[in-house]
Structure 1
Amino acid sequence: MPQINYVDHSGTCTPIMVPLGDSVMEGAVANGVEGIVAECGGSAMCATCHVYVDPTFSALLPEMGEVEDTMLDLAASERHDNSRLSCQIRVTEALDGLVVRMPESQI
């Protein structure tokens, strides 16, 4: 199982082993990681699972879809070049060690 490293706004890192095929958001919610609200449950309709992906992993992520791109424009915290919705990132072996940082606010 790949390890995903969730870093909250204060800098505290919570490493979680997330099953292959689950989303980064599902891994956070299942393990009580604070900072990912996930109001819509993973349908890319709320932007409350917004994360900043460590640039080292950017090339390993799936291409951003139009819906995700639109929702990130509506996120509560500032959008950056490395912003993604964690519900749209499926965990693969290649993402072992992925670091995602949570913004200051999701709502």
Structure 2
Amino acid sequence: MSKTINIGLVPFSCVKLAEADFKDRAAVYVVLCMKDNNEWTVLDAGQSCEVNASADAHPRNAMWKTHCPAGNIWIGTYPMPTAGYSKADRFAMERKLRRQYKPPCGKR
């Protein structure tokens, strides 16, 4: 089951990490710790020219689990296709999200 969550005024398409099955595409992603009351915390943010199904095998996966002990981890993507956006555009959005939410995982 997916849901749209506005993060930094941007609509991210979010799914449970275990259900993530993304097609290779350029996008900005956020990793969220979901709480029982539907509140969330941004654990990580990044960009990729190819967000894909390897989200569950991400190098910071163990760190995400440390910061979300209940294990209800979701990942959201906001497509930024190379036809309309550059890598610099994706990095700029990632920086904006990191400044706003100060996620505990990953550094840029």
Higher relative contact order (CA 8 A, sep 6+): 1
Would you tell me which structure has more strand in proportion to its own residues?
Answer: 2
Query: Is the shorter-chain TM-score for this pair beyond 0.5, marking a shared fold?
Result: no
Larger radius of gyration: 2
